[in-house]
Amino acid sequence: MANILILRFSAIGDVAMTVPVVDSLARQHPENRYTVVSQPFLSPLFANCPDNVEFYGVELKGRHKGIAGIRRLYAELRKNRFDAVADLHDVLRTKLLRLMFRFDGMKVKHIDKGRREKRMFISGKRRHPLKTSTERYADVFRSLNLPVTVVFRSVFGQGKGDISSIEAITGRKKGKWIGIAPFAKHPGKIYPIDRTERVVEYFSAQNDTTLFLFGGGDAEKRLLEEWSARYPRTVSMAGKCRLSDELALISHLEVMLSMDSANMHLASLTATPAVSVWGATHPGVGFYGYRQPSDYAVQRDLPCRPCSIYGNKPCRRKDFACMMQISAEEVIRALEKSMAFLPHS
């Protein structure tokens, strides 16, 4: 029996992509114990993993802030007498942690993020799809002599999540349920809001369809509430439920419309189809949703695209043509195509 420490502190989508690997690993090596260290609000992602998976919350803005905080985290974790460390993050904090554990004589491995390959992809020198983040995570465990085949389906197994706690907001399911998450961290990853609104308007006019809107910040909440008030059968979920409830709700959707953002990965964790819109970034870099069909990515081939790995660079053309050339009708067709062969609820 081995006791394995797993480090991945952020971000939501990146942590979500570790779940299929951790779940598969725990089932294929049940003799071991695994402790995932991440931010406390992300614990629901691992709630349905096997019993040999534990979660440890890291408070990066609290007692684990700064170098002194990382030293405190190390002191807390080493009490568990781990046998090996799998660093799935490879940032300054986790580098410091793994250095401390290495001084203890512990076996330590970290992710190869493929930074050079990704830069080559963005520059146009390499165009075949790169290894996914999920496979890169799996490689870390393989380097610890823990072979793993990722066979995960959903955090809810073969079923759906329990939405009884939010049924007062969602109502009982009738007809089709579609999720729409129109936001992302960087402008180069956000489809024009007016066009997303046209998508909302189109589907809200269908009597058998209910739309659920997802977002986080104050400005996002205000906009989604406006849409919810303006369009029938449209419900804003922004700020109204916990992550565990959001996952459960997503599992009941026919499809999720998202950007290159966390909601694509949350949908992937519930075996829900995700139609995603891509601008500055590209699914071939390795951040595409787990087991999502490649043709569910809506994108435009342009000489200047992709221009960024993470979408955090300004548009060189100044016009975001990669997004502006995608019509609302194209997104609507992609959503309808994704639902064409689904059984009616």
Ordered DSSP codes for 271-326: T--EEEE-SSS-GGGTTSPTT--GGGEE----TT----SSS-S--SSSS-HHHHTS
Whether residue 249 is found in the same domain as residue 315 = yes
Pairwise CA distance, residues 272 & 116, whole Å = 32
Q: Are both 330 and 184 inside the same structural domain?
A: yes
Asked if residue 321 belongs to a domain, the reply is yes
- 153 domain residue, yes or no: no
| For residues 224-238, average pLDDT | 98
Q: Taking residues 139-160, what's their average pLDDT?
A: 97
State residue 127's pLDDT score.
79
- Choose one of 142, 157, 176: the last residue of a domain: 142
Highest average pLDDT, of 113-127, 191-205, 305-319, comes from: 191-205
Same domain, 125 and 192: no
233: helix, strand or coil: coil
Asked if 299 and 200 sit in the same domain, the reply is: yes
- Does 345 map to a domain? no
Average pLDDT over residues 154-159: 96
pLDDT band at residue 345 under the 50/70/90 scheme: very low
Same domain, 180 and 323: yes
Asked if residue 223 is part of any domain, the answer here is yes
Residue 343 pLDDT: 57
- The answer to whether the pTM exceeds 0.85 is yes
Per-residue model confidence (pLDDT) at position 4: 98
Do 196 and 297 reside in the same domain of the chain? yes
The model's confidence at residue 126, banded by pLDDT at 50, 70 and 90, is: confident
Q: Tell me the pLDDT tens digit for each residue of 54-111.
A: 999 999 999 999 999 999 999 999 999 999 999 999 999 999 999 999 999 999 999 9
Residue 175 lies in a domain: yes
Q: Is residue 154 part of a domain?
A: no
Given this model, what pLDDT does residue 342 score?
Answer: 63
- In the chain, how many domains are there? 2
pLDDT band at 185 (very low <50, low <70, confident <90, very high): very high
Same domain, 135 and 174: no
With respect to residue 276, please indicate whether it lies within any of the assigned structural domains: yes
Mean per-residue pLDDT, 11-16: 97
Asked if residue 181 and residue 130 are part of one domain, the reply reads no
Domain containing residue 227: 165-339
How confident is the model over 18-56, as pLDDT tens digits?
999 999 999 999 999 999 999 999 999 999 999 999 999
Residue 149, domain member (yes or no): no
79-96 in b/e burial notation, b at 16+ Cβ within 10 A?
Answer: eeebebbbbbbbeebbee
* CATH assignment at residue 188: 3.40.50.2000
Based on the fold, state whether residues 174 and 321 are members of the same structural domain.
yes
- Does 259 lie in the same domain as 182? yes
Tell me: do 334 and 189 sit in the same domain: yes
**What's the average model confidence in pLDDT over 9-18?**
97
C-alpha 201/C-alpha 230 separation (Å) is 9
Average pLDDT, the chain: 96
Whole-number Å distance between alpha carbons of 299 and 276: 9
pLDDT tops 50 at residue 344: no
Identify the pLDDT of residue 125.
84
Indicate if 132 and 20 belong to the same structural domain.
Answer: yes
